[in-house]
């Protein structure tokens, strides 16, 4: 977002603009994390089904998919911790 030269650093409008940007960023991150969790849950269900059906190939694929989603969530938690001082 481009900054207006009329916006004085530290003014009320500057504070509101920064807060709005942070809010938008948080909404985006929340949505991305929720989508990852949804896909993780789906992969876990598919993995359990594959194990019950003794489909080793599908179970192995879903296990890798689950690890990928879990790793993405761990990485996201570390990034948020470093950038926003969020408790992990």
Structure-model confidence comparison of residues 14 and 54, the more confident one: 54
Give the pLDDT score at 88: 47
Quickly count: other Cβ atoms within 10 Å of residue 5's Cβ.
6
**pLDDT tens per residue across span 30-87:** 999 999 999 999 999 999 999 999 999 999 999 999 999 999 999 988 888 777 654 4
Report pTM: 0.73
d(CA 2, CA 31): 24
d(CA 87, CA 85): 6
Q: Which two tokens stand for residue 40?
A: 């993780």
Domain ranges of the chain: 12-84
Exposure string of 33-50, with b = 16+ CB inside 10 Å and e = fewer, is eeebeeebeebbebbeeb
């Amino acid at each position: 977002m481009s900054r207006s030269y009329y916006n004085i650093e530290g003014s009320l409008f500057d504070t509101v603009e920064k807060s709005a940007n942070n809010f938008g960023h948080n909404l985006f991150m929340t949505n991305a994390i929720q989508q990852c969790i949804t896909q993780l849950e789906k992969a876990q269900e598919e993995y359990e089904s594959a194990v019950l059906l003794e489909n080793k190939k599908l179970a192995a694929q879903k296990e890798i998919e689950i690890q990928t989603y879990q790793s993405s969530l761990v990485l996201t938690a570390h990034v948020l911790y470093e950038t926003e001082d969020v408790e992990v």
